[in-house]
A and B are shown apart, each in its own frame.
Chain A
Amino acid sequence: MNPKELLYAKSHEWVRIEGDEAVVGITHFAQEQLGDLTFVELPQPGDQAQAGKEIGSVESVKAASEIYSPVSGEVVAVNSELENAPELINKEPFGAGWMFRIKLSAKPQGLLDADAYAELCAAEAH
């Protein structure tokens, strides 16, 4: 379910490290908890992201949730398709539903691997 090659934040974002950049999205577990997403608020290219700090939000009909950047650095790209099609996050949270790309300013810290994250989800589901 949770791709092995990704890293995960306790706040349910995933990170794919590509050289000195990182792609970020929210996990399958997170989108399932929120339900059908209706709106995504993304940062803008050029914004400075700080690990653990709010950087956007997602909304469904009955819930809203902040997105916390799992890594620090400068936002270099955002997935603008989500503006008109937030359902991409529900359909492909780890693929077409990616949210933004960050040029890392520091080595990512405190992130979980797929197994540890799966354990966290199992605990939260109860």
Chain B
Amino acid sequence: MKTLFQDSSKGRTGVWPKEPKGNTEADIPAYLLRDTAPKLPELSEIDVIRHFTRLSRLNYSVDSNFYPLGSCTMKYNPKFTEAVAAQPGFTNLHPLIPQLKGAGHMTQGALEVLYETEQLLGEITGMSAFTLQPMAGAHGELTGVMLMAAYHNDKGNRKTKIIVPDSAHGTNPASAAIAGYDVVSIQSKNGMIDPDELEKVLDDEVAGLMMTCPNTLGLFECGLERIVKLVHGVDGLLYYDGANLNAIMGKMRVGDVGFDVVHLNLHKTFATPHGGGGPGSGPVGVSQRLVDYLPISRVVKLEDGQYYLNYDYPKSIGYIAPFYGNFGVILKAYAYILRLGREGIVRATENAVLAANYLRKRIEEHLEIPHDRICMHEFVASAAKQAEKGVRALDIAKALLDKGHYAPTIYFPLIVKECLMFEPTETESKETLDGFVDDLIEILGRVETDPQSIHDAPVTTPVQRLDEVRAARSMELVDDAGL
């Protein structure tokens, strides 16, 4: 498909709201103005509509395809939450209004949404307080690690290291490093954190441990209780990466277990759409001893039921976002939680775990599952045996695209060779799961009979396998059409 810039016709005009007088140079001297207008595409409205409608058809999405992308919880994104968030009473609200003296009453609805969402997330996770400001999961991680640093600095602890298991998502070590810590990686044993291994690296310089539970293999960490004790034993803090909360929501509260910091991914567990890459939302919850360090502002509810923004927290880490987080995303998650309620939250988890185990059981005869036992909301298979015959996990993923399914996660966890991480979520029907498994079995059958057809896949997609090496070497990152 041509790009917008290739389709551009000189002099063709789109839409604009109002005609100016056009004598800008009377207001701003010419030397401060640009010489020529930016070379943006010149199109009519229908050109733009057609272009993006056609582009949209080149995408797989939850609305059009099964999307078992492990660790991403691609559940159905309910449409009513979009309607809720699109209300002008929310979209037209300037974020600085509540910061004007005397205007606090003008944003009570929005502040209530923030306050109530914090309360609901607090109850679901058992954490003492939340900030909704982080704008994605990784942003939540960075915020969380900054909170840990603030705690240690305040106590006068000299901490320099953060421990991250080798199975962790790449954002964990990256977040710890960006916050100024040295990252210590520990090796997993049987897919779990090995408490003995942990004990070996624990010392007074350890600020904390970042972990995911269930871990990236979809397994519940059986050493959890001991891990918590060990880390707290050196005045370290426990960080819970909430990427996999969909496995335990309503069944276990991480605050009750002893975690000190947790980030959630509203765009995973709480059904807000991922938008083809974002916006997400990564609220961070903390245990009581970290509450004083939360970012400002914080929403406070007064006895008369009014809400206001409080900035007076001298120990706070300060501002990590310009305002109150990705408010539009938070709204959708709030609406989703209200819709599900007490029961719906638990049922979502139960059915996510049910679906994952059903899928695992149906797949296990056909693909090796290195840690094959009851899993939580996802599991990891390995195509190592197929790879010996030349068909790698990547090839299987591509062949699944031809069957109309998005692919499982294949780039991590790094601890399983040729990994395929499946996460079906609670919103996919049994027929969908069965159909997917049948398609997978058919593909695996061809490893023996017709491996070339798997190497050739995908053939039904708008393009076939793309030359990534050429992309990286030639660095064609912008269009040169129409220059």
Q: Which A residues are within 8 Å of any B CB, using their own CB?
A: 36, 38-39, 59-62, 86-87
Q: Which residues of B contact A38 (CB under 8 A)?
A: 469, 472-473
Q: Which residues of A contact B468 (CB under 8 A)?
A: 61
A110 and B266 alpha carbons, distance in the complex (Å): 52
Q: Which residues of B contact A39 (CB under 8 A)?
A: 472-473
B432-483 residues with Cβ-Cβ distance < 8 A to A are 468-469, 472-473
Q: Write the nearest CB–CB distance from B412 to chain A, whole angstroms.
A: 11
Q: Write the nearest CB–CB distance from A79 to chain B, whole angstroms.
A: 17
- The 4 closest A-B CB pairs, nearest first, are A38-B472, A36-B469, A61-B468, A38-B473
- Jot down 15 A-B pairs with beta carbons below 8 A, ordered by A: A36-B469, A38-B469, A38-B472, A38-B473, A39-B472, A39-B473, A59-B472, A60-B469, A60-B472, A61-B468, A61-B469, A61-B472, A62-B411, A86-B473, A87-B473
Q: Is the interface of B mostly helix, strand, loop or mixed?
A: helix
Q: Write the nearest CB–CB distance from A87 to chain B, whole angstroms.
A: 8
Q: Which residues of B contact A36 (CB under 8 A)?
A: 469
A38 and B476 alpha carbons, distance in the complex (Å): 13
Residue of B nearest to A87 (CB): B473
Q: Write the nearest CB–CB distance from A115 to chain B, whole angstroms.
A: 28
- Other A-B contacts than A39-B473, A61-B468, A87-B473, 9 sampled, CB-CB below 8 A, are A38-B469, A38-B472, A38-B473, A39-B472, A59-B472, A60-B472, A61-B469, A61-B472, A86-B473
Q: Which residues of B contact A61 (CB under 8 A)?
A: 468-469, 472
A86 and B170 alpha carbons, distance in the complex (Å): 26
Residue of A nearest to B468 (CB): A61
Q: Which residues of A contact B472 (CB under 8 A)?
A: 38-39, 59-61
Q: Write the nearest CB–CB distance from A94 to chain B, whole angstroms.
A: 22
Q: Write the nearest CB–CB distance from B344 to chain A, whole angstroms.
A: 40
Residue of B nearest to A90 (CB): B469
A94 and B411 alpha carbons, distance in the complex (Å): 31
A38 and B411 alpha carbons, distance in the complex (Å): 19
Q: Which residues of B contact A62 (CB under 8 A)?
A: 411
Q: Which residues of B contact A86 (CB under 8 A)?
A: 473
Q: Which residues of A contact B473 (CB under 8 A)?
A: 38-39, 86-87
Q: Write the nearest CB–CB distance from A34 to chain B, whole angstroms.
A: 12
A59 and B471 alpha carbons, distance in the complex (Å): 13
Interface centre among A38, A39, A87, by most chain B C-beta atoms within 10 angstroms, is A38
Q: Write the nearest CB–CB distance from A63 to chain B, whole angstroms.
A: 11
A38 and B474 alpha carbons, distance in the complex (Å): 9
A39 and B468 alpha carbons, distance in the complex (Å): 13
A59 and B472 alpha carbons, distance in the complex (Å): 10
A69 and B430 alpha carbons, distance in the complex (Å): 56
Chain B 200-217 near chain A by CB (<8 Å), digits 1 or 0 = 000000000000000000
Q: Write the nearest CB–CB distance from A106 to chain B, whole angstroms.
A: 28
A61 and B469 alpha carbons, distance in the complex (Å): 6
Q: Write the nearest CB–CB distance from B169 to chain A, whole angstroms.
A: 16
Q: Which residues of A contact B469 (CB under 8 A)?
A: 36, 38, 60-61
Residue of A nearest to B469 (CB): A36
Q: Write the nearest CB–CB distance from A46 to chain B, whole angstroms.
A: 27
Residue of B nearest to A38 (CB): B472
Interface centre among A36, A39, A62, A87, by most chain B C-beta atoms within 10 angstroms, is A36
A39 and B473 alpha carbons, distance in the complex (Å): 7
A65 and B298 alpha carbons, distance in the complex (Å): 43
Q: Write the nearest CB–CB distance from B466 to chain A, whole angstroms.
A: 11
Q: Write the nearest CB–CB distance from B305 to chain A, whole angstroms.
A: 54
A113 and B468 alpha carbons, distance in the complex (Å): 36
Q: Write the nearest CB–CB distance from B253 to chain A, whole angstroms.
A: 38
A62 and B394 alpha carbons, distance in the complex (Å): 12
A59 and B473 alpha carbons, distance in the complex (Å): 10
A62 and B471 alpha carbons, distance in the complex (Å): 13
Q: Write the nearest CB–CB distance from B476 to chain A, whole angstroms.
A: 13
A86 and B468 alpha carbons, distance in the complex (Å): 15
Q: Write the nearest CB–CB distance from B323 to chain A, whole angstroms.
A: 35
A78 and B469 alpha carbons, distance in the complex (Å): 24
Q: Write the nearest CB–CB distance from B163 to chain A, whole angstroms.
A: 22
Q: Which residues of A contact B411 (CB under 8 A)?
A: 62
A39 and B469 alpha carbons, distance in the complex (Å): 10
A87 and B472 alpha carbons, distance in the complex (Å): 12
Q: Which residues of B contact A87 (CB under 8 A)?
A: 473
Residue of A nearest to B394 (CB): A62
